[in-house]
Structure 1
């Protein structure tokens, strides 16, 4: 069995690959991809794949963008932190999922389900995937965040948040009013909670609001430099491998 893993978290991808090798030693992991752009390049060459493990939220966009460009007929197991609605939708379309952090037992059950449904997976799933991804793409995401500061709890509407960033292993929320709050969520958790059309995971340290983007300019090394209406404590750059997906996100309005 030829397997491809699409996962932008390197540790998670390595852990998944190790477990797959333990459970299916006869299988062959032919690629580990970390972005939408890398997946488009890989599947654009039409390789033979028997099973695909895929995270929903990737560093340069949402994985359903892949299916807008290329046709993938093999079964897919999603490794995701999405909420219950997304998971139930995936199950209704005959595609399994593993909730992060996943266990060896959960992976074994998912692989067993693929084995049991091998005949079912002979058909083309693109229509089902398109319907599912349209549902996911329309999700509004988390509407507000509860923060604690100065001995008080207050709620910050998601639309009032300019960006999230990590600083010294702490996640901070920065509003359009230039107010900063510390929150317990990791950026990985936030990425699964926020509207994918409104918020973008720029890199390992930043998630930005579309409305916060002031301008984007070309930077050295074929990178992009992003300027926000609310100043960020770091230069916000987008690598050349992610620039196309980022500009696509900006244009999809």
Structure 2
């Protein structure tokens, strides 16, 4: 594996090199660059890394400028002291986001994730013409526009657009509206996930499906999880594990 490091702090760059070689002896550090200008020049002249470890704040600006000037086709692991660029990082081929000061475990986990992705795509088969035609001729059914609920001896329908989130408690599924009304449902969360718009709703864990419109803000949490806050309170903290965070940020971007 040929690895390129883009980092303007000498100690951080040296530490990265030592850890990568220690963890993955077969890896080759092809070069280290400390600026947008030098990185763009090298990549435009034919440098072809299999992986890039990239700082965000470089001596001549933010490293996202590199992506605007040259095409990068390999995965990128971002290493930075700042946590506010996570969404931009995952938009820019980021497969991991490591906060400084990083540890040996952080680098080992990032390298392992890259290997897992590589193995997955090597094993995955390209769908045949028949499968593609099946998707074209049998498109996914339209998302539900409302849910029928029963409460206080009365039936009513709740428009899906009014639902802030679904959650499960004591094996019972509930929906909660933006005006904080709560209703029980007979469906499982898995069934609901198949019925609602996947563009509008996301299942962040086993207990919750949230509406994009209900998201207020996000922040880093312990063990590299993402803490999602909604515009209305939830019975417990909404946490996304690091394995699902990339999928979550891709979903946020796809609108």
| Structure-1 residue corresponding to 2:126 | 73
Q: Give matches, 1:1-253, under 5 Å.
A: 40-44=117-121, 46-47=122-123, 72-73=125-126, 94-95=130-131, 128=133, 131=136, 135-136=139-140, 140-253=142-255
Distance 1:74 1:145, change over 3 A: closer
CA distance 1:41–1:179, change in 2 (3 Å) = farther
Unaligned regions of 5+ residues in structure 1, if any?
A: 1-36, 50-71, 76-92, 96-124
**How large is the Cα RMSD of the aligned pairs?**
2.6
* Partner Cα distance (1:219, 1:140) in 2: 36
1:76-121, CA deviations, whole angstroms, 9 ceiling, x for partnerless residues? xxxxxxxxxxxxxxxxx744xxxxxxxxxxxxxxxxxxxxxxxxxx
Query: What is the CA distance between 1:216 and its match in structure 2?
Result: 0.8
Task: State the alpha-carbon separation in 2 of the partners of residues 143 and 182 from structure 1.
Answer: 17
Return the index of the structure with the highest Cα Rg.
2
Q: TM-score, normalised by structure 2?
A: 0.51
Structure 1 residue 221 displacement after superposition: 1.1
Paired residues, number: 142
What SS class does the counterpart of residue 173 from structure 2 fall into?
strand
* Separation in 1, partners of 2:161, 2:115: 31
Structure 2: state its 5+ residue gaps: 1-113
Alpha carbons of structure 1 residues 148 and 243: separation in structure 2 relative to 1, 3 Å: same
